[in-house]
Amino acid sequence: MKKTIHQVNERIRDGNARVVTAEEMPGLVAELGEKDALAEVDVVTTGTFGAMCSSGSFFNFGHADPPIRMERVWLNDVEAYAGLAAVDAYIGATQQSTTREDQYGGAHVIEDFITGKSVELRAISRGTDCYPRRTITTELLLENLNQAIMCNPRNGYQRYNAACNSTDRVFYTYMGMLLPSCGNVTYSGSGLLNPISNDPHFRCIGSGVPCFLGGAAGMVIGEGTQASPGGGFGTLMVTGDMKQMDSEYLRAATMKGYGVTLYVGLGIPIPVLDIETVRSCAVKDEDIWVDVIDYGIPVRNRPSMMKVNYAMLKSGRFEMNGEEVRTSSLSSLRRARRIASELKGWIESGKMTLCLPTRPIDYTKKASPMRETVQGPRVLEIMDRRIITISEDEPIRDAARKLLKGETNHLPVINSEGVLVGIVTTYDISKAVVNPGKGTLVRDIMRRKVVTTTADEAVDIAVQKLEKHNISALPVVDRDFRVAGMLTAMDLGKLFGGRWLK
Amino acid sequence: MKLLVTFSRKEGKKPIIAQVVRDTGVLVSVERALIDSSEGEALIDIPDDTCRIVRDKLADLGAAVRFLEEEIALDESECVDCGACISICPQEVFSFDEESKLHMDAEKCVLCGRCIEICPHRALSRKSEA
Ligand code: SF4
Ligand code: SF4
């Protein structure tokens, strides 16, 4: 048996459509069997509510008198992109205020407009014959704009890798606060309620399909940026009228240490026309697997600690490396559910009818990493290759001598096998001279916790280490932890004119 | 009940809390303490019915005392039930109920401030500042 989209719409119009949420569907299919579920269910509604940084809105402000062609535009001190015609601008959710930094940004401007607050527009122009005006400042309400069209290039990630941190310090990331020594795991996404997870082959989701966006009836434009559905990480580009939106489903947020983002509510109704759709909509949290990625390691292909599914993540805790670890979601399951049931209400009441994609999305496509024509500099290129070390058994006085002779402030300490075991600085030695009680050998005064780098590490990462630990030098070590050189703040300064240091 | 005790150490290091325990016989549990060379701050938990004697004793010893009544405050209109606060709280104050709504067990809070700092929606604050 097959149904057509027209039959489904007919039933929606008649008020007879059977609509269920993606959370109810697996149970229903288990109970009725696939064939009867197909006969029974007309539409499955999905929902997700989480941080979606790649979001923003187009505005048209209308013409002023005398008219201005806005070249740069700020809304409550948040710059919007104005490289468009005259009085159009696009505000990106993550753009931060020039005055309030990460406490206010594009996402907040969007939320303020939606909640009916007045927003200050400032714009400048060089003035032309047709647009003579050079500056403008005015207060605007959402109703004063001709258009406020949300257009989000990348929303609704099919799933998202979970995050943890194996290092010994706290990390603040776009995945939230990651405690040291894998003290917690954070994740995002609504699992079985996610739109694409219910239609991974994009048989029903594609260009022109209606959706719920921020409380408004919106539309899927098509494939989202960076979409990688071939690897299970599909994304969507979506649009909707901000004037119909509701701040229950659109919230500005600040991720500490990362910046401003927008929590977006998105839901897509899926027409159930054949057995394949019944099957894909019966997806369970247990079926959706992601990696737990170690954010402590600063490379693109961060290593995976283990695989987990959304059932494990949602349960609040699971076992990793023999230890129980607690999880935090960053998206809201409660609101995702509310979106799916709101959407269900819209369809049951005939407020929204469905259609099939006017253009399909290629579900085999995979995103590729950036083609980098210029390799960022590596530590190897700028490190100090002189290897001046001291053995832990030598007297402090010898260390002082070496520091003086080597004209450095940092001396890596090695053991009898030549392995790095500590570091002493001129400061440590001065301290030892003032307080001689601690001992006479290097081992008595050295710092045992050494932050190191490697020759092939990116300079940017090494700089991050220097800044985070508030230190000025890193021993460069090889695979066996033997010293291969030193990287100091001076090496960076000399070679790059300070460009690498903030 | 929780008490926030602040004391100066200028007149020398007095084991204030130990003294209170000895003199009042109340078992004080110290939940958080920050002490440097010139002053100290400690968050203590004591049985409700001993509040007065402990407070009076601390005051005698020159410490300033403030009662804390579940000082971590949740602004429900800002909270979206994301759960970012759940795994980072050292005291397991937060959890989800069956509806995936955020549940708070504020009694357990030791006011470390971590959740206030990281809540993406600024929904958490100290009650005194809310
Ligand atoms: S982190 Fe903030 S918004 Fe999220 S659940 Fe906790 S209090 Fe609510
Ligand atoms: S202040 Fe600290 S202990 Fe209290 S709820 Fe927040 S994270 Fe938990």
CA dist list (Å): B95 to A182, A329, A374, B104, B105: 19, 11, 47, 7, 8
What CATH number is associated with residue B110? 3.30.70.20
Same domain, B49 and B8: yes
Of the pLDDT bands very low, low, confident and very high (cuts 50, 70, 90), residue B31 is: confident
Task: Give the distance (Å) from ligand 2 centre to CA of residue A320.
Answer: 24
Return d(Cα A252, Cα A246) in angstroms, integer. 12
Residue B40 one-letter amino acid? G
pLDDT at position B11 is 60
What CATH number is associated with residue B31? 3.30.70.260
Same domain, B6 and B56: yes
Beta bridge partners of residue A265, listed in sequence order: A49
* pLDDT tens per residue across span A200-236: 999 999 999 999 999 999 999 999 999 999 988 999 9
Strand ranges for B1-130 from DSSP E: 2-8, 29-35, 39-45, 64-68, 72-74, 94-96, 102-104, 124-126
Same domain, B54 and B85: no
* Residues B19-41, mean pLDDT to the nearest whole number: 81
pLDDT at position A73 is 97
Q: What residue of B is the nearest CA neighbor of A261?
A: B120
Nearest to B101 among A327, A328, A334 (CB): A334
* pLDDT: which is higher, A222 or B127: A222
Residues with CB under 6 A from ligand 2: B 72, 89-91, 93, 109-115
Same domain, B56 and B77: no
Query: Judging by DSSP bridges, how do beta strands A43-45 and A19-21 pair with one another?
Result: parallel
Asked which of B68, B98, B113 is the last residue of a domain, the reply is B68
* pLDDT tens per residue across span A175-188: 999 999 999 999 99
Which ipTM value was assigned to this complex?
Answer: 0.77
Angle A120-A126-A131 (CA atoms, 0-180°, nearest 5)? 80
Return d(Cα B52, Cα A367) in angstroms, integer. 66
Q: Please identify which residue in the block is written with the tokens 């710059």.
A: A79
From the CA of A334, the nearest ligand is 1
Same domain, B51 and B97: no
Q: Is the pLDDT of residue A101 over 70?
A: yes
* pLDDT tens per residue across span A268-305: 999 999 999 999 999 999 999 999 999 988 777 788 89
Asked which of B51, B68, B85 is the last residue of a domain, the reply is B68
B118/A contact by beta carbon, under 8 A: yes
Number of domains comprising chain B: 2
Atom 5, ligand 2: residue with shortest CA distance = B109
Q: Is the pLDDT of residue B129 over 60?
A: no
Asked whether the beta carbons of residue A316 and residue B95 sit closer than 8 angstroms, the reply is yes
Q: Using CB atoms and an 8 Å cut-off, which of residues 28-67 of chain A contact chain B? A: 49-51
Residues of B in contact with A337 (CB under 8 A): 100
* Residues B28-46, mean pLDDT to the nearest whole number: 80
Of the pLDDT bands very low, low, confident and very high (cuts 50, 70, 90), residue A494 is: low
* Domain range enclosing B119: 73-126
Residue B107 contacts residue B31 (beta carbons within 8 Å): no
Same domain, B21 and B46: yes
Of the pLDDT bands very low, low, confident and very high (cuts 50, 70, 90), residue B128 is: low
Domains of chain A, residue spans = 5-52+151-348, 62-145, 379-495
CATH topology of domain A379-495: CBS-domain (3.10.580)
Count the residues in chain A.
Answer: 502
Mutation target for B interface from A333, A337, A339: give the one with most B CBs within 10 A. A333
Q: Is the pLDDT of residue A313 over 50?
A: yes
* pLDDT: which is higher, A78 or A417: A78
* pLDDT tens per residue across span B114-124: 999 999 999 99
- Pocket probe mutation, ligand 2, options B4, B32, B71, B72, max atoms within 8 Å of Cβ: B72
Same domain, B62 and B79: no
Same domain, B11 and B62: yes
Return d(Cα A256, Cα A263) in angstroms, integer. 15
Asked whether the beta carbons of residue A184 and residue B121 sit closer than 8 angstroms, the reply is no
Asked which of B68, B86, B116 is the last residue of a domain, the reply is B68
pLDDT at position A431 is 85
pLDDT at position A187 is 96
